[in-house]
Chains A and B, each alone.
Chain A
């Protein structure tokens, strides 16, 4: 009975001893050494794509890019890179990284939304800018063709000159880097609008179309300024760098712990082997006189 109890006790001690070894082994496997390169690579990709987004926005604004596929592609690539980064489960390395990652996710979400708004705004602006010269010419032609009931040409003082001034100032505004000239155009246009009631019907209809597009251009130009400023202020790069830094620090810490566990495991393993060797050796010496 005593022997059975002693045997069971030895078994428990052995199991515990190997369990400790097992825990130490698991601890050494927790850190994936490749994850540092993977995460840093993904963060670099995000930084690169973000920079390309900034460039493509400007290229779209200036008309160098004739379509928005480059921006749409970048939006998709950012999404893919984010998915890959999320798959790395940084919070398992250090829970505090979750906050930094979330901040980056939030910044990217804001940036992508602004890019969507920019595309919509830019398309409207380009469309109206392309049209206003045609609209102005059509309006002036309607003015030239306008006749009173007696068949005499209708004169609307200052309208033709006003149309030209609005057109020129608007095109100048569009070529300018910002919306500083918007107030001036609005001023001239409002004086033309104030006389709307005096325009013959055909002229009035054409004027409404012209004015609608001018108002649209002015609104979109201001919106463009706001959007570009907002985009520039979204701290995507800063958040990428912050996450990169935090990840690097956490990884170094985890790496040190990993080394400590590895050394502990090796030492403990050697200790276990020594104990086992001693135990087997002692058992062997006890058995030898009996065998003899």
Chain B
């Protein structure tokens, strides 16, 4: 995977991915797959990526300088924190499971309820959330503005230097660089031996059982909303409804959007336990069980589920993300 560093060219990763796919050699039958390979190149400004990486790990974005974006989106842990719910400043436990930052540039919206249209918009959210970083732009700029080296870096990259929109832009650009091609992507590009026979079987089952109806596209999800509990009453069975369970309803106030969430990407899913917005499924096995019961509304033999899990594991990125 090559992150092409081109000066001055901002990237809309999803648009770039689809454009590049048109020029990427691949066997004809694989182009018609419901899951698409990640692009082999993403054009981003190297200086913005570098600056964004620095800010992504900068704890000064939080009120008490205790947490950074990387605290919840740990790049060494699949872009998540491995917790059921995120931890904010002062040890506050958040209301929702942390989605992965890996390949987030390919999501059509950000956050579980899709309230942010772009990564730039999303980057501002946790900074201002009292339960997460608990800060604001005035405080952040005040702290970062005293860092002469950082101010100089910003001036070198952005004409107007250290500004909130530039902080958001650089973080978002860095996040767009977090692309994790997997063995399955090599399979989609024609390397038929890139995945095992069981993983191939698992992919076929993933399609046959209908998992692919929602988990499709270049990010194996992330491009639509769906009700959690299509063919079964997940929330009725689980009980203890919280604000986070309202999903998209929190944004639109439309009853039709109650319990509707952005379908998460399944890339690197083997690394991002626990699962679902409520972190209720501690393992992939448990998550697959819930999906069959409440989303697919059908039973399946254990062997089929095991093969599907094998396939899901083949979606793990092959190269480590450098911190």
Binding site for B on A (CB under 8 A): 66-73, 75-77, 79-80, 113, 116-117, 119-120, 123-124, 126-128, 130-131, 135, 209, 212-213, 216
Contacts and interface: CB of A to CB of B under 8 A. Distances in A.
Contacts of A130: 208, 210, 213
A213 B231 contact: yes
Given A69-B36, A116-B225, A130-B208, A212 B231 contact: yes
18 contacts: A67-B34, A67-B216, A69-B223, A72-B217, A73-B15, A73-B18, A75-B108, A77-B15, A113-B252, A116-B225, A117-B256, A120-B226, A123-B226, A124-B226, A128-B231, A131-B296, A131-B298, A216-B297
B216 A68 contact: yes
Max chain A CB contacts within 10 Å: which of B36, B216, B260? B216
A191 B165 CA distance: 62
Interface of B: 12, 14-15, 18, 32-36, 108, 117-118, 208-210, 213-214, 216-218, 223-227, 230-231, 252, 256, 260, 296-299
A131 B260 contact: no
Given A76-B15, A116-B224, 16 more contacts: A66-B34, A67-B223, A68-B224, A69-B36, A69-B223, A70-B18, A72-B108, A76-B14, A113-B252, A119-B224, A119-B225, A123-B226, A124-B213, A130-B208, A209-B299, A216-B230
A157 to B, nearest CB: 26
Contacts of B14: 69, 72-73, 76
Contact of A126 (B117, B209, B213, B224): B213
B35 A213 contact: no
B36 A67 contact: yes
A113 B213 CA distance: 19
A202 to B, nearest CB: 12
Contact of A127 (B15, B33, B210, B252): B210
B282 to A, nearest CB: 26
A173 to B, nearest CB: 18
B209 to A, nearest CB: 8
B216 A76 contact: no
The 7 tightest CB contacts between A and B, nearest first, are A127-B210, A72-B223, A72-B108, A67-B216, A69-B217, A119-B224, A123-B213
B297 A209 contact: yes
A69 B18 contact: yes
Nearest to A223: B256
A126 B215 CA distance: 13
Nearest to B252: A113
A135 B210 CA distance: 13
B108 to A, nearest CB: 4
Nearest to B34: A66
Contacts of A66: 32-34, 216
The interface residues of chain B, by DSSP majority, are classed as loop
A165 to B, nearest CB: 21
Contacts of B224: 68, 72, 116, 119-120, 123
Nearest to A130: B210
Max chain A CB contacts within 10 Å: which of B213, B216, B217? B213
Contact of A120 (B15, B260, B296): B260
Nearest to A213: B297
Contacts of B227: 120
A66 B216 CA distance: 8
Contacts of B226: 120, 123-124
B31 to A, nearest CB: 9
Contacts of A70: 18
A228 B57 CA distance: 46
A126 B296 CA distance: 11
Given A72-B14, A212-B231, A123 B214 contact: yes
Contacts of B298: 131, 135, 209, 213
B32 A76 contact: no
Nearest to A64: B32
A136 to B, nearest CB: 12
Nearest to B260: A120
Contacts of A113: 252
Contacts of B297: 128, 209, 212-213, 216
Given A212-B231, A213-B297, A69 B214 contact: no
A131 B227 CA distance: 19
A212 B230 CA distance: 11
B17 to A, nearest CB: 8
A2 B15 CA distance: 75
A77 B15 CA distance: 8
Given A72-B14, A73-B18, A209-B298, A126 B36 contact: no
A117 B260 CA distance: 10
A15 B259 CA distance: 67
Nearest to A80: B12
Nearest to B31: A66
Nearest to A215: B231
A192 B187 CA distance: 46
A139 to B, nearest CB: 12
A167 B148 CA distance: 71
A206 B12 CA distance: 47
A126 B213 CA distance: 7
B213 A216 contact: no
A72 B219 CA distance: 12
A70 B36 CA distance: 12
Contacts of B299: 209
